[in-house]
Structure 1
C-alpha cells in the first residue's frame, strides 16, 4: 500500500511540475520572480526539486546561530510552504547547517550536515532521520609530497557540499574544504575518496556543485577558486571510465575574479547554469563547449527585475523550464533577501538519475545451489621506472601478473592506464606506456582485466 501511495504522489507531483513548466513557457527567458521566502534560521543553500515536483530547502550556516538547530522546509511546486523538520544531533556550538542534496529511490531526502560531518536520510512521510554516511577528516600530506588519502592543501575540517548518484548506487559528494570528491558505498557507510587532483587544491573554497551530464558519461564539477593563488573558479568535466572510476579532468569554463561558482544545473541541451555566490551576484549560462552564453542579473548589484535581487545565489535546480536559485546572502546576512528565486530559461533540465534501490543496502544474493566459484585473482602491477621527471616523456614498462592455482603467472590482455595513456599487455604480461607528467606528485597506474580484481602501482614524478 505504501508503495502505491508513494507512486501516486510522485505521478501527481510530476504532472503538477509539468503544468508549472508549461505555464512559465509564456515568460521571457531571464524573467525572475520570488518563488518562496525562507523562514528562520534562514541562510538557504540548495533548493532541491524532488522528481515529484516538491521543493525542499535546508538552512545552512548562520554566523549568529549558535544553539539553534538547522531546519528543512518543504514547498509545493508553486512555492506554497508545507512542512518543516528540525535536524537532530548537530554540534550546536560549532558552525552547523544542512544541504538537501538529493533524494533516494524511496523519496527520502539526503541531507549533508556540516557538524558533524555526516549524511542523514529524512523520510518526509514519517519525519524519521536515519544516519547514512560519515566523511573523514583527512590529514595534510607531507610537505612536497602528493599521496593518496591525505589532504593536499592546508589541514581543514570536512565540509560535504553537493551530491549526485552514480548509476551503480554510489553517492558522489563534493567537499568544499578538503578538495576531494567522496564516494559513499551503496546503502551508506564511511565515505572514501573517488577523485582528487592537485589542480583543484584551494584553501577554504573548493569543490562545490556536481551533476551528471545528460548522456551520463561524465561528471561536471564546479570549483569555487584556487584560493589564494587564483580567485577565478572553473567548471570541470570528469569522464566516467567503464568501471565508473574518474578519468582525466578537463576544464570547460573559467569564471571571473571573485565569482565563486557554486551549485549547477544541466539542461537537456547540454547548457550548464552556474550560480555565482561571490561578488558577481549572478547566474551564468555556459554552453556545452565551455563558451559563456550570458549572465542573469546585474553585476555586483544583483538586480534581476524581481522584488528581491540576487544576493549570494548559491544553487541552480530545474523545475519545469525554470531554475530555482537559493539566495544565501552569506556576505551581508540580509534576512529579507534569503529566499528562493525562479529564473525562466526557456528549456528543460536533464532528469535526475536516482538508481533503483538507491539509499538502501544492496540485497543479499540468494544462496547458490552449487559451491561458490573461486575468488577472482587480484592483478599485481609493477612499473619501471617508478620515478620519472616532470615534463619529460618517459617510457614506463609495466608487467602484470596474478596468482593462479598457487603460482604467479603473467596476465595477457590486461588493460593498463597511467596519466591518460593506456595499453594492453602481451602474452608475457608486459606493456609500455609513454607518459609525461605535468606536475610533481604520485600518480596511480591501474591494471584491469575481466575476471580479475584490479591492481595498482604508484609512479612518482619529481622535478
Structure 2
C-alpha cells in the first residue's frame, strides 16, 4: 500500500538518539513512526468515497447528517444554458447514491450556481443559490420538497462609490454577490460568506432577509482571483467565527485564516489573524476536529493543511501517484465520524477534469467537533 506524502511542521524528528540495544530502538520507533496504521488505513491515506456526476459537475458543498452525505453543485461560471443545480445524496456507509435533489426555479439561460450546504436539527437541508438565495429542502417520504428560506444577498456598491450612510462593500471593485459557505450558531442564525463583497451576512432564525454581520477590506479578494472570504465555521468553544480568505486584495495571491468574536456586532478591529498561507496555495473550506485541529483545504496547492489550536501548521496531506483520484482543487470538508475520516469535495475547478469530480475520504483518526444543527421553525 503506498504511503501518502506527509510533511511535518513540528520539531519532532523521525530518528531517536537512544543508547542501548537495537531492539529497544526498534520498539520505540514502532510506537512513534508514521504514518500510523489503524483499521487497515494509513494516516493521510486517500481513497475515493464517491464520484459525482458530470451533470452539473464542479461540486463544492458537503454536509453529513446521520447516514446521509449531501454534496452540492455546480459552483462555477459559464453555467448559462446548462441544466439545473443539484444536490446528490449518498449513503454514508455503503457510498451509494440514494437520491438526487434537482433545484427548481432557476433561470437556466443565465448564470446559476449552488455552493455550500448545511443541515438543521430536523434534518432539513439548506443550500446557497446565487440566483434564489438560501433554499431549504425537507424530506417528505422518499422525495425532498424545496422551500424558500432566505432572500438572495444584496448587490452592494463599493464603499468608494456609495452615498453617505448607504450600505456598501469594502472591496476594491464592484462585483455581484457570490454566496459561498454557510454555518449555523446555536441560536439558529446562519452566517454566510460573500466572496466578492468582503462581507459576512447573517440570516435570522426562521429565515428572511440577510443582514450585514461583519465587513472588512481584509476579506476582499484580489491578485489572480476576486475570491476573498470563503470557508466559515465556529470554533469548538463557540467563541469565534473562523473564516478563510482565498486570495487577498491586500497581498495578492496570499491566503489567510482569520477569526472574529461571535458577538452581536463585531468591530473591524476585532479581526484576528490565525494563519497565513503562501502565495498560490488558496485556502478554501475547513472543519474543526474534536482534537481541536483545523483541517483546511488548499484549492491551488491540492493539499489538506492541518493546523493546531494555536494556528500552527503541523502537517500537510497530499495525494500519491497510486491514488484513483488525486486531490484536485479540494473545496469543502466534512467528517465521517463512524470511520474517523475526512470527506473532501474534489471541486476540480482549475483543471475542469470531469474524472476528478467527486468526494475523497482521508483517514485522520479524528472525529468532528459537531456542527450546530439548530431546531429551526
**C-alpha distance in 1, partners of 2:276/2:165?**
27
> What SS class does the counterpart of residue 314 from structure 1 fall into?
strand
Question: After superposition, where does 1:53-452 map in structure 2 within 5 Å?
Answer: 53-63=67-77, 65=79, 66-78=81-93, 79-116=95-132, 118-125=133-140, 126-134=143-151, 135-142=153-160, 149-153=167-171, 154-203=173-222, 204-227=226-249, 229-241=251-263, 244-246=264-266, 248-278=270-300, 280-297=301-318, 302-303=319-320, 305-320=322-337, 321-355=340-374, 357-358=375-376, 360=377
**C-alpha distance in 1, partners of 2:368/2:213?**
26
Residues 245 and 308 (structure 1), Cα distance of their counterparts in 2 relative to 1, 3 Å cut:
same
Cα drift, residue 67 of structure 1:
3.0
Cα drift, residue 124 of structure 1:
3.0
Residues 233 and 119 (structure 1), Cα distance of their counterparts in 2 relative to 1, 3 Å cut:
same
The answer to whether 1:43 aligns with 2:47 is no
**Which blocks of at least 5 consecutive residues in structure 2 are unaligned?**
1-36
Residues 236 and 305 (structure 1), Cα distance of their counterparts in 2 relative to 1, 3 Å cut:
farther
Deviation >6 Å, runs of 4+: 144-148
Structure having the higher Rg = 1
TM normalised by structure 2 equals 0.82
User: Residue 50 of structure 2 contacts residue 358 of structure 2 at CA under 8 Å; is this kept in 1?
Assistant: yes
> What SS class does the counterpart of residue 317 from structure 1 fall into?
strand
Cα drift, residue 288 of structure 1:
1.2
**Which blocks of at least 5 consecutive residues in structure 1 are unaligned?**
1-22, 361-463
Q: Deviations over 1:363-408 (max 9, x none)?
A: xxxxxxxxxxxxxxxxxxxxxxxxxxxxxxxxxxxxxxxxxxxxxx
Cα drift, residue 304 of structure 1:
6.5
> What SS class does the counterpart of residue 315 from structure 1 fall into?
strand
**C-alpha distance in 2, partners of 1:170/1:339?**
30
User: Residue 29 of structure 1 contacts residue 344 of structure 1 at CA under 8 Å; is this kept in 2?
Assistant: yes
Match of 1:34 among 22, 37, 48: 48
**C-alpha distance in 1, partners of 2:63/2:166?**
33
